Amino acid sequence: MTDHDRAQSQRTHLDRAAVSARISGFERRAADVPDSRAAAVAITIAERDGSQGIWLTKRPATMRRHAAQYALPGGRLDPGEDEPTAALRELHEEIGIELPADSVLGMLDDYATRSGFVITPVVCWTDETHTPDPNPDEVAQLFFVTFDELMVQPRFLTIPESERPVIQLPIVGALVHAPTAAVIYQFAEVVLRDRHTRVDGYEQPVFAWR
């Protein structure tokens, strides 16, 4: 984290109107990928012990797909669902947080994954104090990641399998990779730093391609 970002993170406390304005002022890009499957993730702004942050999960090692990877609460859209509805449903199913439809502030850019999904990040807001109740079938660990931690600078790796750089975020005592790292980084750029940054040029590690 640079001195500028460290100073900014120490005073980053946003109200709902400010977050809404930054998302509304961002021109979101949808991804049109043939034969892809639609998914949504919830980036939920909450407050705990006086600090704002978001919830992040680590998937169980026993899961069939993307085991032991870090992820935002989310999953595939059910038939007839739109992205905000799916994100709120998955938030409830995975970590036991139930929010109304008007908690949704907007969406960020779609991120197309190597495994055939197009992920839509849905930014939500809650003023209430919630006690998460993670579903052990889907969540091995649950983290509350503060805005201060989200202000960290990403790392970029070069791999022979792709011309795009692999993005990593050093948070929660680990290295979080794309797609989650890309989505969270764009959230930090657009919402926390008020920068209109694109992340579709960032790659996933090879182990996440399947």
Report the CATH number at residue 62. 3.90.79.10
Residue type, 84: P
- Mean pLDDT confidence for 140-153: 97
Does the pLDDT at position 4 exceed 50? no
Residue 110 lies in a domain: yes
Least confident of 36-40, 58-62, 64-68, 179-183: 64-68
pLDDT over 90 (residue 9):
no
| Measured distance CA(85)–CA(90) in Å, rounded | 9
How many independent structural domains does the chain possess? 1
Looking at residues 31-58, what average pLDDT do you find? 96
Q: How confident is the model at residue 6 (pLDDT cuts 50, 70, 90)?
A: very low
Within-domain flag for 49: yes
Question: Does residue 24 contact residue 130 with C-beta atoms inside 8 Å?
Answer: no
The band of 11, judged by pLDDT with boundaries at 50, 70 and 90, is low
- Asked if the structure places residue 163 within a domain, the reply is no
Look at residue 184 and tell me whether its pLDDT is greater than 90.
yes
Answer with the residue of higher pLDDT: 76 or 63.
76
> Which of 57-66, 81-90, 159-168 has the weakest average pLDDT?
57-66
User: Tokens in use for 72?
Assistant: 């935002």
pLDDT of residue 66: 66
**Residue 19 confidence (pLDDT) above 60:** yes
In the predicted model, what is the mean pLDDT of residues 114-130?
A: 95
pLDDT-derived band at 1 (thresholds 50, 70, 90) equals: very low
Maximum distance among all Cα pairs of the chain, rounded to whole angstroms: 47
Residue 16 has pLDDT above 70, yes or no: yes
Is 181 among the domain residues? no
Q: Examine the pLDDT at 10 and tell me if it is beyond 70.
A: no
CA distance 184 to 190: 10
Has residue 77 been placed in a domain? yes
Q: For residue 71, is it within any domain? A: yes
Contact 5, 12 (CB under 8 A): no
- Bigger pLDDT: 7 vs 103: 103
- 113 pLDDT higher than 60: yes
**CA-based Rg of the chain, rounded to a whole angstrom?**
16
Tell me the pTM.
0.92
Of 125-129, 163-167, 188-192, give the lowest mean pLDDT range. Answer: 125-129
- Is 171 inside a domain boundary? no
Residue 203, domain member (yes or no): no
| pLDDT at residue 67 tops 90 | no
Q: Which domain holds residue 111?
A: 3-147
Name the burial class of residue 112, with classes exposed (0-12), middle (13-18) and buried (19+) by CB atoms within 10 angstroms of its CB: middle
